[in-house]
Amino acid sequence: MGMSKRVGMVCGSYHKDEVERMLMWAQDEARTLKMTVGDVVWVNGSMEVPLALDRMMKTHDGAVCLGIIEKGETQHGLAMGQAVMKTILELQLKHNKPIGLGIIGPGAEPHHIEPRLEPHARASVRALL
């Protein structure tokens, strides 16, 4: 992705305060890399990310997804995370456009989250290059 490309951002609202901060860092990184930030879409959780990305890829040159999949009592988060990440890989191939993965987890514990917010957000945007 070269200069002035339009990038969209899909954000999971399950950890809204943390993900809002991730969005701020992702937008900052995009501006630093001379990308235009297009649509920002909030979804309920990781299950809703692929559809939002699929729609966004029709009007943007690339996109990032930002969110957190915490470690739960069961394997639900792990299974969901694997399914979502596989679908994101498939969407890149379908649209022939990059998608930056800024999802912390699956299996994130509370002490894992804070130190990863900014690095994951910025790296997801750099991945579009």
Is pLDDT at 3 greater than 70 in this prediction?
no
Amino acid 111: pLDDT = 92
Closest-CA residue to 56 (of 110, 92, 107): 92
pTM above 0.85, yes or no: yes
Q: Does 1 map to a domain?
A: no
Instruction: Please give the helix or strand (H or E) that residue 78 lies within, else none.
Output: helix 76-95
In the annotation, is 76 catalytic? yes
User: How many domains does one find in the chain?
Assistant: 1
Work out the number of other CB atoms within 10 angstroms of the CB of residue 4: 9
- What value does the mean pLDDT take over residues 76-85? 87
Q: Smallest Cα–Cα separation from 91: which of 114, 125, 63? A: 63
Average pLDDT, integer, range 85-109: 94
Q: CATH number of the domain that 121 lies in?
A: 3.40.50.960
- In tens, the pLDDT along 15-66 reads 999 999 999 999 999 999 999 999 999 999 888 999 999 999 999 999 999 9
Percent of the chain with pLDDT over 90: 77
- Residue 11's domain comprises 6-126
Catalytic hit among 60, 76, 111, 112: 76
Residue 110 in domain: yes
Alpha carbon 32 to its chain centroid, in Å, reads 18
